[in-house]
Amino acid sequence: MSAQSTKRYSLLTISLHWIVALLIIAAFALGSIMTDMKISPTKLQYYSYHKWLGVTVLGLVALRLLARLLSPAPAYPDSMSQWQQKAASLTHVGLYALMFAVPLSGYFYTSAAGYPVVYLGLFELPTFIAPNPELKPILKEVHETLTTVMLVVVGLHFAAALKHHFIDKDGILQRMLPGR
């Protein structure tokens, strides 16, 4: 393991990474459960929770991007090939784009469906798209497709982290683990 690979991300970056990861998992799980439910007060509450998670992810990802810009990622280990470094960089760019695009597409879909987003039940967020029955199914499909793409990219990210830890043993995973 090279000295470069042992440099860690900042505590803020590590914390935001894992908080956002857990929130995305929760939003995905809740989204999967709620869409198969029959209409009920519980289903409507789950939709609210799902929206709250999405808005929270959006805010934390904005903070995370700012933290990343102020504190760049540690260098890749010398043992990592150029193509792997490029793939990792592209994957991270893709993840950031998806972490913005998925909640925004859900927010726009909700607006086109004519429902407000009342964050944490406390205040209504502004509406950028008026109710639009023609746009609603398109935005629903966009949200679902982006969510599926995010699931695949997160799976690749997770698999790559495990590969670096168990096969390459190059310290990549330790840079992002809390408390190490």
Per the domain annotation, does 103 fall within a domain?
A: yes
For the segment 110-128, the average pLDDT, to the nearest whole number, is 96
Q: Is the pLDDT of residue 2 over 50?
A: no
Per the domain annotation, does 83 fall within a domain?
A: yes
Per the domain annotation, does 146 fall within a domain?
A: yes
Per the domain annotation, does 180 fall within a domain?
A: no
Question: What is the radius of gyration, based on Cα positions, of the chain?
Answer: 18
In this predicted structure, what is the pLDDT of residue 6? 52
Average pLDDT, the chain: 94
- Write the single-letter amino acid at 30: L
pTM: 0.93
Domain membership of residue 151 as a residue range: 4-175
Alpha-carbon span 60 to 57, nearest angstrom? 5
Per the domain annotation, does 50 fall within a domain?
A: yes
In this predicted structure, what is the pLDDT of residue 11? 93
Domain count, the chain: 1
For the segment 56-81, the average pLDDT, to the nearest whole number, is 95
Per the domain annotation, does 150 fall within a domain?
A: yes
What DSSP letter does each residue of 66-106 carry, written as one string? HHHHHSPPPPPPTTS-HHHHHHHHHHHHHHHHHHHHHHHHH
Give the list of residues 6+ apart from residue 97 with CB closer than 8 angstroms, or none. none
CATH number at residue 159: 1.20.950
